[in-house]
Amino acid sequence: MELYEAMNRRRDTRSEFTGSPPAPEVLDRLLRAAHSAPSVGMSQPWVFVTVHAEETRRAFRDHVAQRREEFASLLEGERADTFARIKVEGIMESGLGIVVGHDPTTAGEVVLGKQTVADTSLFSVCLAIQNLWLAATAEGIGVGWVSFYREEFLADLVGFPEHVRPVAWLCVGEVAALPEVPDLERFGWRARGPLERVVHAERHGWS
Amino acid sequence: MELYEAMNRRRDTRSEFTGSPPAPEVLDRLLRAAHSAPSVGMSQPWVFVTVHAEETRRAFRDHVAQRREEFASLLEGERADTFARIKVEGIMESGLGIVVGHDPTTAGEVVLGKQTVADTSLFSVCLAIQNLWLAATAEGIGVGWVSFYREEFLADLVGFPEHVRPVAWLCVGEVAALPEVPDLERFGWRARGPLERVVHAERHGWS
């Protein structure tokens, strides 16, 4: 698939999973795409745990359901009604979870480019996720990023050592189709804004 | 350009800039690619400041040069010699800097999906950067991410308000060619590792 097409077709997927996880050779290409992302000081500070096991996914789904309730309890009126219609995860339906973690120790103590901004290593992990997401789109695979979780719970669930921080649970699986319009826009939660709002010439606040 | 080709051709660019910034219509496509990235709760929490002004770029280059010296002073022996050969920025040569910032206030106080992991909004900014980087690759434009800076300095330089955090200075410009092999690998700083090292089945530590 052409790059710009992949960017435009990419969607955060929740309801469209068919129940089949990606075939092993497709999964391999997705992980290789992630692994080819740029990283500070060539540290490649990412970790991927592929979760097919139903028991693990069920435990995570139950945890996420509770966090959803907590969030719902903060909302009132139209916001509460709108949120009630929005699906926030496809953990069981997707057939595969990929837990992405940040391991800041992969390149030792002195990482080129990380000295002044320690988070650059965390940023690298996100770049890898976007590569995976675009590759999935090109392969006809849906990806849904779940963020309704407590980090300690997820770290414990997949056995991350103390120094590895969970960054995402990605629901990854075959889809009937990718939605044309993002769910949050379709259900009236929030629409995309114009580019002009976020671009400034020379200094912030000028345009 | 095909997606996987863009991923494989993408390089962190330092020495290959010709001095010409991207043409306005190309820059517009790069920023639109960034702006089409996924974001938590459709918050689109990114800010882009396009810096053509030589004075601003010169001030940043001088700041980065000092940070480079600080990092170099931590190294000894072979590490010091190897680092001495590595160029860490193309701020003047690229013709354009894009300062990317994180504005967590774009979608108000209650952001869908950000309740339990506040950093998801920061993660979204990184996804946008990877979109921009891949789009640049497809357009024949080089991108070099500079991270040798103090955040306060850069925030002040481009006039970010208190709540906007700088995430990257990207050197963006036309290039003679993109290097085949990443600089850090070519100069012997650090090579890419195998995928197998970062993938775990079901739980961390298993494979």
Phi-psi label, residue B95: left if phi above 0, alpha if psi -120 to 50, beta otherwise = left
Residue holding tokens 């929490």?
A: B45
Q: Tell me if A198 and B79 make a contact (CB, 8 A cut-off).
A: no
pLDDT values of chain B reduced to their tens digit, one per residue, 207 residues: 999 999 999 999 999 999 999 999 999 999 999 999 999 999 999 999 999 999 999 999 999 999 999 999 999 999 999 999 999 999 999 999 999 999 999 999 899 999 999 999 999 999 999 999 999 999 999 999 999 999 999 999 999 999 999 999 999 999 999 999 999 999 999 999 999 999 999 999 854
User: Considering just the CA atoms, what is the radius of gyration of chain B in Å?
Assistant: 18
A49 closest CB neighbour out of B51, B145, B204: B204
Specify which residues B166 forms β-bridges with: B101
pLDDT in tens, A147-161: 999 999 999 999 999
Q: Tell me if A202 and B88 make a contact (CB, 8 A cut-off).
A: no
E strands, B129-194, are: 141-146, 165-174
Is the CB of residue A198 less than 8 Å away from at least one CB of chain B? Answer: yes
DSSP string, B185-200: HHTTS--PPPGGGGEE
pLDDT in tens, A164-183: 999 999 999 999 999 999 99
B130 closest CB neighbour out of A4, A110, A130: A130
Is the CB of residue B138 less than 8 Å away from at least one CB of chain A? Answer: yes
Cα distance between residue B188 and residue A4, in whole Å: 34
E strands, chain B, are: 46-51, 97-102, 141-146, 165-174, 199-201
Domains, chain A, ordered by start: 3-178 (3.40.109.10)
Tell me how close the Cα of A126 comes to any Cα of chain B, in angstroms.
Answer: 6
Contacts of A129 in chain B (CB under 8 A): 123, 127
Cα distance between residue A37 and residue A54, in whole Å: 30
User: Considering just the CA atoms, what is the radius of gyration of chain A in Å?
Assistant: 18
CA A128: distance to chain centroid?
A: 10
Q: Tell me if A195 and B70 make a contact (CB, 8 A cut-off).
A: no
* Type and span of the H or E element at B54: helix B54-72
Contacts of B101 in chain A (CB under 8 A): 204
- Residue B143's Cβ-side half-sphere holds a number of Cα atoms within 13 Å equal to 26
Q: Is residue B146 within 8 Å of residue B91, measured between CB atoms?
A: yes
Is the CB of residue B134 less than 8 Å away from at least one CB of chain A? Answer: yes
Tokens of A116: 């002044």
Count interface pairs A-B at CB distance under 8 A: 248
Distances (CA, A) of A64 to A68, A153, A165, B23: 6, 10, 18, 46
For residue B17, which phi and psi values (nearest 5 degrees)?
Answer: -65, 145
